[in-house]
Structure 1
Amino acid sequence: MVKVVVVLSFLLFCWADSTHLVFQPSFIIATGPRITTFLLGNIKDVSLNVRKVFPSNVTGSIDPPSCAANETLWIVTKELVGTNALRVNLQLNKSLHLCGDNETDCCPKPMCVLESLQVSACVANAVQASLLIQAKIHAHLISAFPTTDNQTVIPNQVYEPLGSCPCDLTARTCDIRCCCDKDCSPEELMLFQSHCHPGPFGGQLPLVPDYHCSAQRDNSPDWFPFLCVISPPENNPYLGLFYNGDKIIPKPRPSFQIPVLSEPVFNTYRQGNPIFTLDDQLFTIPQMAIGHCVDNAPVAFLENFSHKCVNLLNSCPTAFPFRTLASDLRVRVNNGQGGDVTVIVRDELIGDLSQFLSNAVVNPDESLVCDNVTLALDYTFYWKRNHITKVILIRSVGTVIFKGSVDLTTRYSAVFLTRDYVGESNSGNPGYQVGKPVIAGIKRTQNTAFSVQRTSINLWKPVRDGLCFTAEKQPVLFAMNSTSGCHLHVSLQNLTQCDLLRATVGSLQTNMITATYVANKGNPNSEKEADWVKISYMNSSNSLEVGDGSCGGIPSHIHISIWSLVTETTEGTAQSNIQAIQVRSTLSTWTLDCGGGDLSPCADPTETQMFHVTSSVTFIEIPIHHGPPKTRFQINFTEYDCNKNDVCWPHLAFPLTKYYTGEPHSQALAKGLILLFFFIAASLLGTPWRQIRQAWNSSSRAVIRDY
């Protein structure tokens, strides 16, 4: 399909005579189901009619324009775009796929539509302007045969989520640090060969273990085929690491011999699919990609993100994304059902730019003043089922004042909401992954059934000056012990109001952890109570003494203790769950230090000293087995210890031991006993047993002859 879009400049609008009507252009050859043109001039009381026209068999000319319309397959709509301009849209009301058995709304042959149309602009049944359209539209040809060698074969993304080289993100270009990129020359690889992307993202899949049947070598023992492990390559601990969503099955695609459709047929949105605008362009928002900020990065459906970009400004910005217009941001987004939704733009004025500027030097006489600088673009997508219902953009703008240069930090985010629920990403499947955020939640009170709204438990993240009022939050990461804090300026006057000081510090610490539950696994169900563990809050004892220049009972430190347990192992990867969590507040006494000859803090009520407000987290792993302590003989007898010897005799029958986790132990034991039975039967019925019987018979005959 080809959609004809005519873009008129401002001069063309000014040139149009306000007393006449004219179509621009006046003749169109259409090859797609959508046609767009403009009607310029005095558009008051204008009606539009469309009809099919036929050339004369004698002269070849077409009948003159008429205000009498006839029935066609086209729907005409109009949209006011200016004082003297209309956008005229024609939409084909017919399916473009080839007819099958007992189908009516379809194309009987590949040349689906071949006709001439005439659009007339009428005022009081008098033709003022006309447009001639020649429509030549082919049917959508989808191959019903299996894919051949000359067709593009799409791999199953469940098993090959990003292909053999996941970090190869740019076609026909060498990606930095991507050592498996075939576009990189040997000279380019030498520049970053020692800094390749590690792990599966860099194409480094785990090696085949020695006990796998595919690892057999020429020097492998004869019994290796009987004791090796058969496991399909799809059983990989990294399965799903780059894949998020439903199973994607390759569909038949047009071969290279069939004309390629110029405009793709749009399907409904699925998780991870890119979002498109109404004119079939990718909907983009500035984002971070491989350490760099990209101004036009596509947005994926149901994929939340939040990025910060730091840029050096030497002058006032004039282009996107630092200078934006509301008209440019009101993009018409394809909603996934054939319609569109327009982005709603709401402006927010930022007065305090301390979170956005750094290294700024302000001089009232020589400073540069930049108005209406875009500081943040926060998108909220409302969705239902597999389509978008509404898009709201909060654009934060402010006035940037600096001298020379300044580091400007801009923020960009996208959140998908449905029924007031934020689509959060999981931290494991099913157990927690190391380094992923610990998932917390607050129980919803308006529901009678158990339901949790996701949130996070946080620690202090000091920035810039390290003060508590400018510090940020950082989530607690699983299995990552951490300690952080900030500074609070306290004066003698503050220490005379201990209740207010305790309340202030307590409020700062309480804002770090507002959750009441924590998820015991990495992919919890928000409505299943068994997936959540209640947080235990405790306070240490401390006297509330009040003296000259001192206050007691200050909750200056909170400590989070999290107990985790390895519940199972999947392909050698441990699955850890959270069993319990405790948040303890440590109360302390704050006293001004007037030693060292500096008596000003104790003499001047406004002189301040810095006190520390801290937070920490400790992960405690619960041992799996609690057996009796080993004896001295067990400790010293290491001949059969697999961890201290190259030869491990207990692993000779590997499938029968506890180390084999490819299938339940009962099944492995049963198969091993059956295999042992076959060995014994082969020994009894084979050559050794026949030789023993021959020797026995020979000795028996010799004894009989003696008698």
Structure 2
Amino acid sequence: MITAHCSLDLLGSVAALCVCDLSPAQCDVNCCCDPDCSSVDFSVFSACSVPVVTGDSQFCSQKAVIYSLNFTANPPQRVFKLVEQISPSIFCIHITNYKPALSFINPEVPDENNFDTLMKTSDGFTLNAESDISFTTKLDIPTTAKYKYGVPLQTSDSFLRFPSSLTSSLCTDNNPAAFLVNQAVRCTRKINLEQCEEIEALSMAFYSSPEILRAPDSRTKVPITVQSVLIQSLNKTLTRREDTDVLQPALVNAGHFHLCMNVVLEVKYSLTYTDRGEVTKADLSFLLGTVSSVVVPLQQKFEIHFLQENTKPVPLSGNPGYVVGLPLAAGFRPHKTGALPCRLVAQKVKNLLWGQGFPDYVAPFGNSQAQDVLDWVPIHFITQSFNRKHSVLQDSCQLPGALVIEVKWTKYGSLLNPQAKIVNVTANLISSSFPEASSGNERTILISTAVTFVDVSAPAEAGFRAPPAINARLPFNFFFPFV
């Protein structure tokens, strides 16, 4: 126990706390921990309004400061005792290894000095907006996942591999097959002929064993069916196998030469999909051959095509010449211009600026819950139009040119540990007038999107007390007979 008769020194973080110090640079009455109070102020104190100041109550052992007044001294003095308190709870913190966890993280405001550093450390983020409260089970919710153009096709273990050449002519097996992207590639593979039986990329099973997911993250699997297998001999003759059994590469010794049979030379995928973005069927065709040491390195060809379900290809009347009795292929070329009406262009540009699912509210804090709707900040939408000199013409067109988003935030909470809070968001869509171009002429329109964060925090002001006011009523005839 420590007893001292002096002003507050830096005896620790607890001694620096003062919850009754509400007036900066001014002594608060009966606030014994206020460092602005002097002995003259203590002479008019009646007692300490906050006699005990403690630290974090979650610790098993914590420091506490006990304040009192010594009126026998002349002038009166403040007395404080720094003591150690033991928490009676069995669930308490004995020691903390990470002291910053006891307080909030101070927001770092970007400026010209730390902007580059913040950009390097920012790796992006994702925010899950799903509520913790669910009124229906996941089994009752219909799945809306579907493949979109360019999305890798998922399999039961990873994704459908489509070998291709990237930086060189060598085959890379980690390239994923993309939905609705028809491809035909050739690449070279360096192999050791004596180890051809161990190389997976030379086997049929490497391409036919995966099972494609019907939709992303779906439990329904679509097996890959082998439709045809062609065998190519050393003299380039082709033979179609009657069965579609999966063959394994086999190494054969032919005198002084080594031959590897049943090696995959060509792979052709044919995937059937629906208009809902689901894969319903997967067919596969192989061209196998015999490889000798003369043709090493090996060249392989891979193709993938997508066919929509319940659609028929355009019938041909011959390949390439006409066949007697088949109809003549004919068609017409529609006469149209590349010009678009102003209203359609304006809507397209507006959709491009807003994006998909532009929100109506913004969370004030980073941990705001979706259930607390009233705490969220609504977005204010503003539309502005800037007219140019030629806008007086009747053939001018109003097109959106910029979307400016302004986010106002403030520092919220304690002065020692303030937190960033969003208080206002404004989305301003700015349009300009453009003269409508004549047929055959093109015009380039530059659109932009800008986001500005404005700090609207007000500096802390001293909360001086209002001077006392006299609330007294005089009699009705007090100034009689003068008034």
**Structure number having the greater helix percentage:** 1
Shorter-chain TM-score category?
A: 0.3 to 0.5
Larger Rg: 2
TM-score normalised by length of structure 2? 0.33
Q: Greater relative contact order (Cα 8 A, min sep 6): structure 1 or 2?
A: 2
TM-score normalised by length of structure 1? 0.23
